[in-house]
Structure 1
Amino acid sequence: MIKGKELYREIPELTVTSEIRVRFNETDALGIVWHGNYISYFEDGREAFGRAHQIAYLDVMRNGYSTPIVKSVCEHKLPLKYGDTVRVETRFVDTPAAKMIFRYRLFNADDKVVCTGETTQVFLDQEGNLSLNIPAFFEAWKKEIGLL
């Protein structure tokens, strides 16, 4: 914290919920979702968020940037199985830094949390250089939604 202001804050209004049905090829020999597939579910959530809030990967690319993931955290609580329906809650976390942070909660059909996680993405320009300053289009987006 700097001078009483939080550096990172979840924005409840910037939450998107999407739904996924577990496919057979996402399960392991035990019949449960292989742990690595949860990161793909996070990506599905990010894509749904981007479409809903006009900050999708294609929007970022049109502005001359890419946003690779530099950190991912995934905590498993309960297993998922083939045919289960998963609700993915994706929430934007505001930060003054030139990066995007999302937090996730995955719920099963019984509304129980099966997984939580977080990803951090940075901005790279077309030459692959790390942007240390917030790109103009992202700053404009944050202003438009009331974060700046």
Structure 2
Amino acid sequence: MKKITMLSVIGLVFLLSACSTSQKELLPTGEETMRDIWNKGGSEAQLQYYRDSDNRRIDPVNYISSNEQSAYTRTAENEIKNLFPQLPNPDLIMYVYPHLSTSGEPMPIPGYSTVIPFYGRVQYAQPGERTRGL
């Protein structure tokens, strides 16, 4: 009971002390408005100079394009493919010649190619297991 009373008194003191400060003491404001600060920032020519694309400070020799950067970016897909690469699974590519359907009314079916994996399901290598050069 004594602890609860003591904690409530301390909480009340903190609450009252927080209300006793004024905004002018915590955040003093000057005589300038935001418009004055904005107008003081510089002339239109200076702003245009900084906005100009020729003013960029990018070293053209060391600059890497976004396409090159995407190859080095770590994504969940890249991490999974690097940790658990798929084991080689050769594909059997078959061509089905044009034929007539076997239904009640024969309809022409154009020729098409299909891909059938050699193994029934995809196998993944364990982390660190070699998948190439065996």
Would you call these one fold, judging by a TM-score over 0.5?
no
TM-score of the pair, normalised by structure 2: 0.21
Q: Which has the higher strand share?
A: 1
Larger radius of gyration: 2
TM-score of the pair, normalised by structure 1: 0.20
User: Greater RCO between the two (CA within 8 Å, min separation 6)?
Assistant: 1
Q: Which has the higher helix share?
A: 2
